[in-house]
Structure 1
Amino acid sequence: MPLRLSALALDSRDPVLRARFWGALLPREVVRERTTALLPGTERQVGLRFVPGDAPAPEPARVHLHVTSTSEEQRDVLVTTALDLGGRHLDVGQLPEERHIVLADPEGAAFCVIEPENSFLAGCGPLGELACDGTREVGVFWSRALNWPLVWDSDGETAVQSPAGGTKVAWGGPPVAPKHGRSRQRLELVADDLAGEVERLVADGAVRLGTLPGGAVELADPDGNEFVVADEDYWAAGSSRSNAGA
């Protein structure tokens, strides 16, 4: 099988608390691991893994989540649920006529509850999008890396999506703020042929950063964003190593 996107790892002061918040919103079961908490994904929905990360991030997050709604009522329920679980409203300069609602989760990470009439995320499922800061180059890189088609490519903005549909991963295009320090979020990928996939990714523009305990390989994409590739056994072991080096 080709390289597969398993989860987005998010550094968290309290992984379990944060996982419970997101598990209630999406909704998904929270799977407790040794020091992490996982919301497993599916063929159509990207998983979320919350890993220990106590130090404040040195830069704004490069990835934020878009949660979809199918009706005005459901959107209001999602917002109320988020607020009841420790979220809060967040002002990022959104205009009054914009119908998505910007919130922060219990650790202050911004996310959006998307209006039901949004056509771009229609049919994408509860976790509609990983909205990323990034160049067109990195969108093209990930399209090739995952063998996912570019479903959007305009004015430097790109998006990819599994052939099965579901969660989109999108990049907003330039200008992209300079990266300082380690990202607080990292993609986690599964490879059946780890050495071969790492070689392919490096040939296509990734930089190998090192080998982690347990045999996983950490790389950076063309925009410098860290990600981890490992075999199925590594992730099945419930490893907390996805935040290695943080």
Structure 2
Amino acid sequence: MALRPVMVNIKARDHSAVGRFWAEALGWNATGGGSGVTTYVGPAGDFVWPDPVYVCVDVVTVPEPKTTAKNRVHLDLATTSAAHQAELVARLRDLGATPADVGQGDVPWTVLADPEGNEFCVLEPREKYRDTGPIAAVVVDCADPRAMARFWDAAMDWTLHEVTDDQATLRSAKGTGPYLEFLRTPGVTTVPDRVHLDLLPYPGDDKAAEVARLRALGATDLDLGQGDVPWTCLADPDGHEFCVLALS
């Protein structure tokens, strides 16, 4: 048994506006959910969710605005050249992104925030991310990358590529799509996550058994006031929220 990450969930007060921003940012399509409180952002064309490689974006309405604390999870966007990086940053600012200072100092990447303040990075060209698509990585701040690697490597069917005291990296076993990266970040502020991963079982697997397996690995139940919903909210050993979705 194993799970696959299928969506990055972003909380927003205005799901439509933030969803449109991310669709334009990634060159993807935005589709309103039937509930009226969510916007799905996924690749254009004949895309059928869930995709074996793409990790989509799901923007969900919440009443609370983002706090001033930096999100513990963010997206890194890939670029193919210095000119592409400059063009993308300019285009994103035209779409409503604003510069963000998270203490990064003088770095070759650009830190921005979406229209509701969710931080993300536009990376300088890196060979590692040449074939990821627009999302280079989902980046998670944590206290112990080695512990996170042990949990997430066991939780998902992705391949573990790197583990050090400072960073752990996983990617789809297919060798395409974005990376999942855990960065050691001492003193990170623990706040409710406005960005988190949604995982999905494979057809034929039992969701309840998968949730039980995650609990045995160190996940804990999380009550966000979600009530009676078909998905299960959990927290990983470092306290990051994630959800296990139900197969439709």
TM bracket (short chain): 0.7 to 0.9
User: Could you tell me whether the CA contact under 8 Å between 2:162 and 2:168 is conserved in 1?
Assistant: yes
**Structure 1: distance between partners of 2:230 and 2:101:** 42
Letter in 1 for 2:237: P
User: Could you tell me whether the CA contact under 8 Å between 1:11 and 1:51 is conserved in 2?
Assistant: yes
- Match of 2:234, SS state, is strand
Q: Hey, what does 1:208 align to over in structure 2? A: 221
**Structure 2: distance between partners of 1:218 and 1:202:** 11
- Of the structure 1 ranges 131-140 and 210-219, higher mean CA displacement relative to structure 2 is found in 210-219
Residue 123 (str. 1) matches residue 131 (str. 2)? yes
Residue 179 (str. 1) matches residue 181 (str. 2)? no
TM-score computed with the length of structure 2 as normaliser: 0.85
**Structure 2: distance between partners of 1:123 and 1:183:** 28
Residue number among 133, 138, 143 corresponding to 2:141 in the alignment: 133
Where do 5+ consecutive residues of structure 2 fail to align?
44-50
**Structure 2: distance between partners of 1:232 and 1:176:** 37
**Cα deviation, residue 36, structure 1:** 0.4
- Match of 1:61, SS state, is coil
- Match of 2:128, SS state, is coil
Decide whether aligned partners of structure 1 residues 215 and 93 sit closer, same or farther in structure 2, where only a CA change above 3 A counts.
Answer: closer
Q: Hey, what does 1:242 align to over in structure 2? A: none
Runs of 4+ in structure 1 off by over 4 angstroms are none
Q: Hey, what does 1:237 align to over in structure 2? A: none
User: Could you tell me whether the CA contact under 8 Å between 2:72 and 2:188 is conserved in 1?
Assistant: no
- Match of 1:202, SS state, is helix
TM-score computed with the length of structure 1 as normaliser: 0.86
Residue 166 (str. 1) matches residue 177 (str. 2)? yes
Letter in 1 for 2:75: L
**Cα deviation, residue 79, structure 1:** 1.1
User: Could you tell me whether the CA contact under 8 Å between 2:6 and 2:199 is conserved in 1?
Assistant: yes
**Cα deviation, residue 174, structure 1:** 4.6
> Number of residues paired by the alignment?
230
Q: Hey, what does 1:218 align to over in structure 2? A: 233
Where do 5+ consecutive residues of structure 1 fail to align?
234-246
User: Could you tell me whether the CA contact under 8 Å between 1:7 and 1:187 is conserved in 2?
Assistant: yes
Q: Write out aligned runs for 1:7-18 (5 A).
A: 7-18=7-18
